[in-house]
Amino acid sequence: MAKVSRLTLALALALLVCTATAQAASTGMQLTNESTLTKVMERGVLRVGFDTFVPWAMKDKTGQFIGFEIDVARRFAEDLGVEIELVPTAWKGIIPSLLAGKFDILIGGMSIRADRAQQVYFSLPYYYSGQSLVANKKLAEGFKSLEDFNKPEVTIAVRTGTTAQKAAERFLPKAQLKLFDKEPQAVQDLLMGRAHAFISMAPLPAQEAVKNPDKLFMPLTDNLTNEPNGIAIRKGDPDFLNYINSWILAVQGENWIQDRYHYWFETMDWKGQVE
């Protein structure tokens, strides 16, 4: 009787393992079939969401989008073997637009943050960026440290909903923040003397100081932050995330990302394309 019971138990366990394996395989196949990666390959077009932000993404003299993120998006689509559809989207609604399916992937200089990761899957970092500060020469005369800017009478211009806003709130909690939907609006406010400083992702503040040496200066030698930037997709898609991470490692390994970063962020060789 004991032998029969052990045999029955062994058969039951074997059946359970086989059933679990079959269910796992079925679930894996379902995930693959439902993956955005599969749908993009079938469609033959990758829809990429981004917002304009010099030099990440901007229009050249002919009206075509160029920039670091545009290069990344085009290379990603090319390696995937599909066409690309660029979907410019306002930053404050860019994650909701991704979740609503208005585009397949977000390649837009987005810093990886825990609160954002509650809503989307982030890839491995494909580069790092930092927030820096440029100041108005007249209003911030003699300012040399963060403490000089951290005062109630000081106004800081930032783009709303960005890590620049987070950095300003963290490092300059006593200052007054002036929020803008776009960087050019904030820069104009700074140039007009309506803000003491402007915080944004490097190298934009330094570039503005070079363009306007009579009105602006860089009071700090270091960036305020060092932020990992990732590609974002909708949650629940491990196949697509695996492909993106593998692609990032591959292009980093051939120094392509580093080369594009150098061109767009460490030189102004592209300036003639937009002016």
Which three-class secondary structure state does DSSP give residue 45? strand
Quote the number of domains for the chain. 2
pLDDT in tens, 122-141: 999 999 999 999 999 999 99
pLDDT tens digits for range 65-119: 999 999 999 999 999 999 999 999 999 999 999 999 999 999 999 999 999 999 9
Q: What is the pLDDT of residue 17?
A: 59
Rounded to whole angstroms, the Cα distance separating 61 from 81 reads: 28
Assign 3-class secondary structure to 167-211. HHHHHCCCCEEEEECCHHHHHHHHHCCCCCEEEEECCHHHHHHHH
Residue 91: CB atoms within 10 Å: 20
| Predicted local distance difference test score (pLDDT) of residue 204 | 92
Q: What is the pLDDT of residue 19?
A: 61
**Alpha carbons 133 and 198: distance in angstroms, whole number:** 6
pLDDT value at residue 1: 46
Overall size of the chain counted in residues: 275
Single-letter code of the amino acid located at 185:
Q
* Cβ within 8 Å of residue 29, ≥6 positions away: none
Query: Mind listing the pLDDT tens digit for each residue in 77-89?
Result: 999 999 999 999 9
Distances (CA, A) of 265 to 27, 92, 259: 43, 24, 10
Residue 64: which residues within 8 A CB-CB, separation 6 or more? none
- Is the overall model pTM greater than 0.85, yes or no? no
212 located within any domain: yes
Question: What integer best gives the mean pLDDT of the chain?
Answer: 91
- Residues 166, 183: Cα–Cα separation, whole Å: 15
**86 to 3, 15, 65, 81, 82: CA distances (angstroms):** 68, 50, 9, 16, 13
- pLDDT over 70 at 6, yes or no: no
> Distance between CA 33 and CA 240 in Å, rounded?
11
Name the residue among 234, 236, 260 with its Cα closest to residue 102.
234
For range 15-30, the mean pLDDT = 54
| pLDDT at residue number 275 | 76
pLDDT class of 34 with cuts at 50, 70, 90: confident
Which one of 189, 217, 245 terminates a domain?
217
Q: Are residues 40 and 121 in the same domain?
A: yes
Any domain includes 113: yes
Residues 149 and 177 in one domain: yes
Question: Could you tell me the two tokens for 249?
Answer: 């490692």
Percentage of the chain lying above the pLDDT 90 cut: 82
Confidence check: pLDDT of 32 > 80: no
- For residue 17, tell me if it sits in a domain: no
Q: What mean pLDDT is predicted for residues 12-25?
A: 58
Verify that 75 and 186 share a domain, yes or no.
no
58 or 5: which carries more pLDDT confidence?
Answer: 58
- Which stretches does DSSP call E strand in 89-138? 105-106, 120-122, 127-129, 131-136
Say yes or no: 111 and 62 in one domain: yes
Same domain, 135 and 146: yes
* 169-178: long-range contacts, CB 8 A cutoff, minimum separation 24: 171/146, 171/224, 172/146, 174/150, 175/149, 175/150, 175/151, 176/152
Check which CATH number belongs to the domain holding 53 and give it: 3.40.190.10
135 and 67 in one domain? no
Distance in angstroms (rounded) separating the CA atoms of residues 178 and 135: 14
For residues 44 and 123, membership in a common domain is answered with: yes
Q: Do 146 and 75 share a structural domain?
A: no
Question: pLDDT-derived band of residue 252, with 50, 70 and 90 as boundaries?
Answer: very high
**Cβ count near 25 (within 10 Å):** 10
193-226: pLDDT as tens digits: 999 999 999 999 999 999 999 999 999 989 999 9
pLDDT of residue 59: 96
Range of the structural domain that residue 106 is part of: 36-128+227-273
